Chains A and B, each alone.
Chain A
Amino acid sequence: MKKIKKIFLSDIRNFFEKYHSLNVRHLKIIIVSFMLLIIGIVIFLGWITYKRIVDTVINDFNEQQLILARHAASQIENTVNFLKREVTLLRLSPTIQYQENPGFLNRLNNTFISVKDLGVYELLFIDYKRKKTHRINEDTGYTQCNINEHEQELLNFARDVKRRDWILIEKASPNENLTKRVIMELLTPVWQISIDEAHPIPTGQFSGLIVFKIDIPSLIYKITEKIHSGKTGYAWVIDNEGIFLYHPEESFIGHNAFEIRKLKEPGISFEKIEKIQKEMILKGDEGKGWYISGWHRDLKGEIKKLIAYAPINIDSFKNKMQWHVAVVAPVSEIKGSISSIQMQHILLQAIIVFLILAGGWFFIFTLVKWSKVIEKSEEKYRSLVENADDIIFMTDNKYRLVSINKKGLEILNKEINQLINEPVCDIFPPEGEILMMNIQHVFKEKEPMELTHKLSINGKDYWFNTKLRELRDEKGEIYAVLGISRDITERKKMEQQSYHLEILASLGTLGACVAHEINNPMAVILGFTDMLLEKTPKDSETYEILKIIEKQAINAKNSVENLLSFVRRREHKEELVDINECLDRVLKIVQNTALLKMIEIKREFQENLPPVKGDAGELQQVFFNIINNALYEMKNGGMLKVATKYDKYWVEIFISDTGPGILKQYRNRIFEPFFTTKEEGKGTGLGLWISYNIIDKHDGIITFKTKTKEESEETGTTFLIKLPAYER
């Protein structure tokens, strides 16, 4: 609290010099650093987000690919199962078993038609009895010929009764003209086990062998053609030996995947895919990953690809066959779509960052501009406050001083440390309490106040006019009261003097009226007394009483005459008067009195004092009045000091006594007519009034300084008379 108060106003300069400008500089650095930090964080977060998005999307994408692979695998399995079902249906048909024409051929044809779209390019029925092969295919339609050696071998293999229910799936060698490189044969023996009208009892004999010759790529193609992973992703299938059963690049089909890749792009290391293929795919695992390829469709070069793979299980009585489908797509394709989103994202971030930057700079710029404006304005107001000719101070709500300006320190004659935090009532004696009550009022009633109060510092009296105004914080609460005190001592003096003069003037007029009103009855009283005195014997008591009446009336008449002597404006002489001479003359008159009263007279006359234009008699009367009063007051002796001085335009006369001084309550009244502190009958109370008027008439000034025993150990009064010096 104390610290905060200290920095206000008078110390505010130091505060600003110390911290303000530095603050702005600091603020700039802080804001710029803060902005850079924010930008850094934004970029970092953006990068992390991008990474995560890429990872997530790639992962999701690959998961999709895995689903596709699984789907493809099950589709292929389903197709093979369908073919197995078809061949079973055919095997169980009596028409086929007993080769009953014409149904036999029709049945074969119908089955071929239903399976030819599933990769079956040729359907064979090898007749065991007749050693004939019935062949149906797209190119030649139906043909019949004698069985060849291979077919004989197959028959021998199939006629074993143990293999009666077998459906054998076997890989076959490429056909003669190599148009179909990867071929699979689906074989099943036909036994005469079914019944029909012609054969009510089955013979149970071996009839022959049904063979579906299947072009595997065609079978797979029917399924994989529908698979589109991303824009250009595709599927490929290998068998358990790593031979491509299907690949969109037709030249790969039938070749070992490891070899054909190297053959196509010898410069690229296929380590990764080979590892995946060897360790995962060929082991029948399902999974996903990535690898570097040398191409993708028409694209060449090192391409990172995502791969998802799943096994295809094909049941056969002889062995379990396993193929593997893989769905691949280049990462760049996914990244491409992500990066376009990411680009938008980065653009947005850039815009935001730019806006933050621009906003920040604008803020700083405005702040700096404003701080300069504020600094200037503060400088202006500070200099106004500091150089003000008024005391400017501030108090808190406990009526303690918070700040005060230079003028205040000068007048109070104190250091700032001696005043801060001190109660206002102690700082502004003797009327600090009144000031404090007014400040209290401002705090309570929330309205400005104005008061005139006295201030006494080191025995010097000032008069101040103080305006009190509330200071409010941003919430509108009064947190302090600002006081502006104007030194009105001179004005107050003038006012008092002019008020005094007015009183004197009005008393003059009043005096004249009173004189008139008194003179009339006096004339009557004195006139009749005079008349009666003549008629009264001198030794009578009546005569004596009449004499008393006459005396008192004459006293009254004299008083009025004195009073009127100035109202009447007696003729005023204008001559050059030597003040020293005048004073000497007066001192000569009073020196015997002074001697009797044990009063020492001290003369301190300045030599070559310029003359004063005026009436020597009148001026002597003034000096006499004042000196006479001084001697009267020094009842137990003392010192009368009479001094003269020449000061530029003025001849100054000092008349000092060591008497008891003039009591405070009389100080304003001593120049009033009829005012006297002397015992009754010893003074008319007109001496100083007359003196005042005489000096006034001479365009001079008469003032006094006095100290009573309450005020000082050395009591006494000094009258100062200033008369305009006559310039020769």
Chain B
Amino acid sequence: MAEKILIVDDEPDMLRLLSMILKEKTPYDVVTTNNPLEAVSLVQNENFDLVITDLKMPGLDGLQLLEQVKKKEEDIPVIIITAYGTIEAAMEAINKGGFDFITKPFRKEQIIFTIEKALKWLKLCRENRALKEKLKSGTN
């Protein structure tokens, strides 16, 4: 089963571009929304393997969405994209548990590479967790 990726951006054109890149260049399932509030309920009700979100959005910004995702599952990587690239914003995103930080405009290779890296990291995390569980039950 292909990994499921949620893309959140208030700009529908950007959403279309990202979903086009992912759909054409990766095998993953893509869900998009330009409503950050809808994104929260999607995160809560569905299981995503990766969330890509814009930093600045009306209503709810990328960092708040990041928190919601981390509440749901600690391991799900969140990639933050922003046009307003400052070190402070990036640092904050990473400190809050963001996986990586991509500034607009980006090259498609850059985003694909980061997604691959994130999913690989998720996979490792989950395997790690399973092994730990196994080890735990084995010792028990």
Contact = CB atoms under 8 A, between A and B. Distances in A.
- Tell me, yes or no, whether A binds B: yes
B87 A569 contact: yes
A512 to B, nearest CB: 7
A527 B81 CA distance: 14
Interface of B: 11, 13-14, 17-18, 20-21, 24, 56, 82-87, 103-108
B84 A530 contact: no
A530 B107 contact: yes
Given A527-B17, A531-B17, A531-B24, A520 B83 contact: yes
Scoring B56, B86, B105, B108 by chain A CB atoms within 10 A of each residue's CB, the highest score goes to B105
Contacts of A525: 105
B139 to A, nearest CB: 48
Interface in A520-538: 520, 522-528, 530-531
Contacts of B84: 512, 515-516, 519
A522 B105 contact: yes
A641 interface: no
A522 B21 contact: no
B86 A567 contact: yes
A557 interface: yes
6 contacts: A515-B83, A517-B83, A520-B11, A523-B14, A528-B17, A531-B108
B4 to A, nearest CB: 22
A138 B21 CA distance: 187
A556 to B, nearest CB: 9
Nearest to A513: B84
Interface string A606-646: 00000000000000000000000000000000000000000
Given A519-B104, A519-B105, A531-B108, A524 B86 contact: no
A519 B103 contact: yes
Contacts of B86: 567-569
Contact of B105 (A523, A531, A564, A568): A523
A652 B107 CA distance: 44
A527 B105 contact: yes
Interface in A76-131: none
B127 to A, nearest CB: 33
A625 B56 CA distance: 35
A517 B56 CA distance: 11
B105 A526 contact: yes
B106 A523 contact: yes
A244 to B, nearest CB: 150
Contacts of A569: 86-87
Contacts of B87: 568-569
Given A519-B104, A524-B13, A531-B21, 14 more contacts: A512-B84, A516-B83, A519-B103, A522-B104, A523-B104, A524-B11, A525-B105, A526-B107, A527-B14, A527-B105, A530-B107, A531-B17, A568-B87, A569-B87
Interface string A395-411: 00000000000000000
A52 B106 CA distance: 131
Interface in A533-567: 553, 557, 564, 567
B109 to A, nearest CB: 9
B21 A527 contact: yes
A13 B86 CA distance: 69
Nearest to B83: A519
Nearest 5 pairs of A and B residues by beta carbon: A519-B83, A523-B104, A523-B105, A516-B84, A527-B17
Nearest to B24: A531
A532 to B, nearest CB: 10
Given A516-B56, A524-B13, A568-B86, A531 B107 contact: no
B13 A530 contact: no
A523 B24 contact: no
Contacts of A524: 11, 13-14, 17
Contacts of A517: 83
A569 B56 CA distance: 20
B12 to A, nearest CB: 10
